[in-house]
A = this chain, B = another copy of it.
Amino acid sequence: MTEVERKAPAARQASIKLSTTSDQQRQNLLHAIAAVLLEQQEHILHANKLDLAEAEKAGRDAAYLDRLEINDTRLADLADAVTSVAELEDPLGTTLRSWTRPNGLSIREVSVPLGVIAAVFEARPNVTADISALALRTGNAVLLRGSRSAINTNKALTAAIQRGLQNSSLPQEAVQLIESPERSATTELMEASEWIDVLIPRGGKELINKVVRESHVPVIETGAGNCHVYIDKDADAELARKIAVDAKVQRPSVCNAAETLLVEASWAEQHLAELIDSLSSHGVTLRGCETTTSLDQRVYAAQEEDWETEYLNLTAAIKIVQDVHEACAHISKWGTKHSEAIITENPEAKDLFFQTVDASTLYHNASTRFTDGFEFGLGAEVGISTQKLHARGPMGLQALTTVKYLVEGNGQCKGSLSY
């Protein structure tokens, strides 16, 4: 029996127990977990040092080591995050709709846990505590598949979480780490649709693409964002510059940062130089269409692949377009349906953009950087879904729930057979 064959059915059993817990029990559980995480600081930090030493020996760069490291401040933040999830509103047991049919059947649609969630993620060990807290708050069990390079840290964190479950008289199989070094363990998770209800990949593009392609378990896809800011003919010049800078520069490495600026031709004639001044002053390198390069010599010539590149750094593509229609067509061709902004004072241009562009989140006169669970006020960061089914855009706790219909009758039958 492999590790997944052992742990996945145990997770299913634990999820049945969890699905019957009260809001108060689940809140207490997360507080208990936060407490154990702090109690076991010495043990967790020691385990993390083993991983850091191993990574250093393997010649990992400073950014990698930084992502991997847990120090006392970070552990305190991590415990705080668990506590804050405890305090979110209970998403379970809500009657979403209810109605009575002419035959007297009373139907209620009620929110319930998904069941078992599997998370496959890369080096950041905070995901271990983060996704466990979100899953448990919503009455789900979770199987964690972290990176090999964080194995000691993940073991220590999972042990602390399991101690919290025990202290709350709940089955510790509700949170289990898949420890096997074999790649086949990940493949097994992706095939265990009998035991696992949803698989969430957290990490780089390559990981996400692999999981989306190979998993037979339904996936919630997060990640890719080739986002655009379209500056319309009727855009306020100062507003446009301010938003373009924020969307590109404020944190270029994240999925809701802008990659391409689309600029209407007459606006460009008047204001392009100033826009480029602003971007250049923040160190942005520009790669533009022929018209842009002819207007401003600070712009390098873009290749076709620039329109589809998620730079995730201080590079931006820039293209002059004739009108909002051309902007929408460009976004439809190259966008990843994540976050798209229009800057304009013209309500008709805005309406057309809002109606035509197919993306999770459309902005009028605001930065694309607000596509985020916290910024939306959802109180949690389950992720930003880039798919259309189940959950789209910033996901709150609700994304980790499903529904069931509870139907009450007094003998209703479809036919009228003798009996």
Nearest to A354 among chain B residues (CB) is B406
Q: Mark A residues whose CB is within 8 Å of B.
A: 16, 19-20, 99, 101, 105, 107, 112, 114-115, 197-198, 212-213, 216, 218, 220, 238-239, 241-246, 249-251, 278, 281-282, 332, 354-356, 358-367, 369-371, 375-377, 387-390, 392-394, 402-415, 417-419
A17 — nearest CB in chain B belongs to which residue? B356
Contact, CB under 8 Å: A407 / B115:
no
Which of B114, B356, B403 is in CB contact (< 8 Å) with A20?
B356
Query: Within the assembled complex, what's the spacing in Å between the Cα atoms of A115 and B354?
Result: 15
The answer to whether A19 touches B412 (Cβ under 8 A) is: no
The interface residues of chain B lying within 8 Å CB-to-CB of A101 are 375-377
The chain B residue sitting closest to A115, CB to CB, is B358
Closest B residue by C-beta to A191? B213
In the complex, A246→B394 CA distance in Å?
45
Task: Name which residue of chain B comes closest to A394, CB basis.
Answer: B405
Pairwise interchain contact B216-A414, C-beta atoms closer than 8 A: no
In the complex, what distance in Å separates the CA atom of A398 from the CA atom of B101?
A: 19
* Pairwise interchain contact A414-B99, C-beta atoms closer than 8 A: no
Can you give 26 contacting A-B residue pairs, CB < 8 Å?
A19-B356, A19-B358, A20-B356, A101-B377, A112-B358, A114-B389, A115-B388, A218-B218, A218-B388, A241-B419, A242-B411, A244-B419, A245-B418, A246-B413, A249-B415, A251-B414, A354-B406, A361-B404, A362-B407, A363-B408, A364-B407, A366-B411, A367-B414, A369-B415, A392-B404, A393-B405
- Decide: A413 and B363 in contact? CB cutoff 8 A: no
B20 touching A366, Cβ below 8 Å: no
